[in-house]
A = this chain, B = another copy of it.
C-alpha cells in the first residue's frame, strides 16, 4: 500500500505522452495529487500546481510518484538527485519503471538513511495463493479487449468513478503498474508467477457486500498470443458477473504483431463468454466500450450508435461521452 497524497514527479519529460502515468493519476485521483514537481526543460504539464519538494511536503504529500517514462532504462543524474532529495525530505518513492528503484545503490542508501520506502510497483509484493474457484460474495465487472491497449483500464476507472458519483458501492481493482500507482495498491499481474496468477486475482477481489462492484482492470487480450494466458487468468480468477467488450476501431493489427488481425466484437463476445461461465455461470456481456480518440465528435457518436445497434448492447466511449450507459446496464444485472 503506497501512502497518499502524492507529489507527481514529471522530471524532464519532453512531452505530455512521456508523463502519461502522472496524467492518469491526475485524471482519476485528483484528490491524491498535491502538486507536480518538474525539472528544467520539462515539456509536460498535468494541470496541478507546481511545487518544490518542501512546499508539497508542507501540504501533506507522503510519496513522490515517478510519473514519467525513462529512456534507455537508466535514471539521469538530474532524476537521481531529485529522488535522493525527496527521500531526504521525508518522501517515500513509488515507480512503475522497468529500472527498479531498489537496484539503484544511491536510492537504497538514501532511503535507508531517511527511513523511507521504495515502492517498485512492477514487482509483486505479496505471496499469492493458488486459485480455488470458490464463489465470492459481491459483484465483479471485467473489461476485455479485442487487443491490448484499447482502453480497458480507462473503462474500469470511468465506470468506478460513475458509480461513486451516484453514491453506489464500487472499487477499482488495479492489475497493472499505472493502475497501481493511481490507486496505491493492486497486483502487477504480468509479473506474477504463472501458477499464482488466478489466485492473485481472487485475492485482489475478495468477498464483499452483495451490492458492491469491483471494476477489475483488464490485461492483454484472449486474441493476443503474447499475453492471452494473463487474460485467461483474469477471466477465471476474477469470476466476473459482467463483461465489457473494449475496442479501438482504427486499429489495423494486434499491438506489436503486424501479422495478426483484430477479432470482431462478435467473435470476442462468443469466445470470452463461455470461458467466463466455467467459473461464473451467471456471467453476462453487458456493454461495449469504444476508444474513439482517433475520431472526430460526429464520427465517434455515429460509431457508438451503430455499434450499439449492431451488438444490441449499450455502447459508449466512457472517456469521451461518460460511462453512464455502462453503469446503467450493470445496475440492471
Contacts and interface: CB of A to CB of B under 8 A. Distances in A.
B230 A236 contact: no
Interface string A216-229: 00000011011111
Contact of A226 (B132, B191, B222, B235): B132
A278 interface: yes
B225 A131 contact: yes
A97 to B, nearest CB: 15
Number of copies: 2
Contact of A228 (B223, B232, B254, B274): B232
Interface in A108-124: none
Interface string A69-99: 0000000000000000000000000000000
Contacts of A256: 132
A103 interface: no
Contacts of A199: 226
Contacts of A235: 228
A137 interface: no
Contact of A229 (B194, B226, B239): B194
Nearest to A219: B194
Nearest to A221: B278
Contact of A236 (B134, B191, B229, B279): B229
Contacts of A197: 194, 229
Contact of A133 (B194, B260, B275): B260
A192 interface: yes
Contacts of A179: none
Given A194-B193, A259-B133, A229 B232 contact: yes
Interface in A184-223: 189-195, 197-199, 222-223
Interface string A26-61: 000000000000000000000000000000000000
A194 B230 contact: yes
B193 A192 contact: yes
Interface string A131-173: 1111000000000000000000000000000000000000000
20 contacts: A131-B226, A132-B257, A133-B225, A134-B259, A189-B194, A190-B193, A190-B195, A192-B193, A194-B194, A194-B233, A195-B226, A225-B278, A228-B232, A228-B235, A229-B231, A229-B233, A231-B232, A232-B232, A263-B278, A271-B274
